[in-house]
Chain A
Amino acid sequence: MSLQVADASLREDLMSNEELREQSNELVDVLLKAMSDRNLSDLSSPDFEPVHEILSGISISRARQGFSPRETGLYVFSLKDALLQNIQEELKNDPPALIDALLKIDKLMDSLGVVTFDTFIKGREEVILRQTDEITEISTPVIRVWDGILALPIIGTLDSARTQVVMESLLQEIVVSGSTIAILDISGVPAVDSLVAQHLIKTVAATRLMGAECIISGIRPEIAQTVVHLGIDLSNIVTKATLASALKYAFAVLKLEVKKIQKEKAAI
């Protein structure tokens, strides 16, 4: 089977540059090496391992670069078009052989396409998982705003797993820093349902058990509405409108006072 399909990759140039051509050349080379008359009908033969490997590499890297599945799929199937064209020209005078070859190539390329999609989706999932991990890590910073006062701004939706992380890191930080007041700022939480409220109440209770006081600040009007409509009782929890007023309250509890410095001139 003679295939001069090295030029098949050209049509992909609209998307990228030299790198793409290199990639395609590599793929075509390996594919040609792997293909022989004997194994064309057996798609699971080990001869195709290197092809699969290269395809996986390409589609994973494409998934990371943010290509759409459609583009990745078209990239592989463009190879099919080129192959078919070549075969058609070559076997013009022998229709039965042409049909046979066409069917085989069709099957082969389909299976390659499936491999591509498989790895493409795997690559995407990896990206998503990594991002999820990163978000959980960066989304629960415990800030020491003052000696003995911790603040924990929560941004984004609260679910059980995240509340667990929030609670653990808060309690740990309370022990480490010896703080007596923790401010939980939920102005970045888009919605509160009964479950989230339950989690908040749990966090507050756990903080109390540790011997610290927990203030919830930044409850937005919509959230206040939902909380009351859901019949959740937050009355035994100290709540403040803003982080600033929570801080003020914390200062009052710790018997601290913030004063404006009098100008020296005025003092003289």
Chain B
Amino acid sequence: MDRIPILRMGHFLLVTIQIDLYDRLATNLESDLVQMVNKTGARGVLIDISALSIVDSFMGRILGNIGSMSKIMDAETVVVGMQPAVAITLIELGLELKGVSTALNVERGMELLQAKIGSDEGELIDEDEDSAE
């Protein structure tokens, strides 16, 4: 069965959706991602949907779900690279993805995540340095 790869980058998880999602794939992604967040203790999840050209209400809901689930597990979610058509569709469907942050591209998304997590991370790094000394 197809799976969407979830890459780990430091404190963040990176998911790039390269194919059109069907429902099964989306639900799998949802559960995999939550598992991954738990396993790696990731602080942020970045979902790149720039290749996604078709979206339906289910897909929109899954995105929202991922956002809220990660939130409970103390990880920020950023959706990046949404196509204009996808954005219009989601709005027309009434899905505003309230709990999810958005950014224009992966680079901006990373900046945003770092800014959000940054303050906590700063302390952690300091502690590490202290212990090293």
Point out residues on A near B: beta carbons under 8 Å. 167-168, 171-172, 174-175, 178-180, 202, 205-212
Given contacts A180-B108, A205-B96, contact A211 B91 (CB under 8 A): no
**Chain A contacts for B84, CB-based, 8 A:** 168, 171-172, 174-175, 206, 210
Show 19 residue pairs from A and B whose CB-CB distance is below 8 angstroms, ordered by the A residue: A168-B88, A172-B84, A175-B83, A178-B104, A180-B108, A205-B96, A206-B87, A206-B88, A208-B96, A209-B87, A209-B90, A209-B97, A209-B102, A210-B82, A211-B80, A211-B82, A211-B102, A211-B108, A212-B104
Chain B's nearest CB lies how many Å from the CB of A162?
Answer: 14
- Given contact pairs A171-B84, A175-B84, A205-B96, A210 touches B104 in the complex (Cβ within 8 A): yes
Which residues of chain B (73-90) have a CB below 8 Å from chain A?
79-84, 86-88, 90
CA distance A209 to B87 in the complex (A): 6
Closest chain A residue to B102, Cβ basis: A211
A210 touches B102 (CB 8 A): yes
Asked whether, in the complex, the Cβ of A210 is within 8 Å of the Cβ of B87, the reply is yes
B109's nearest neighbour on chain A, judged by CB, is A211
Interchain CB contact (< 8 A) of B102 among A172, A178, A208: A208
Name A207's closest neighbour in chain B (CB-CB): B87
In the complex, which residue of chain A has the Cβ closest to the Cβ of B80?
A211
3 A-B pairs closest in CB distance: A171-B84, A211-B102, A211-B103
C-alpha gap A179/B105 in the complex (Å): 11
CA distance in complex: A211, B103 (Å): 4
- Do residues B96 and A209 form an inter-chain contact, with CB atoms below 8 A? yes
A198: min CB distance to chain B, Å: 11
| Residue contact A174 to B104, C-beta cutoff 8 Å | yes
User: Which B residues touch A174, using CB under 8 A?
Assistant: 84, 104
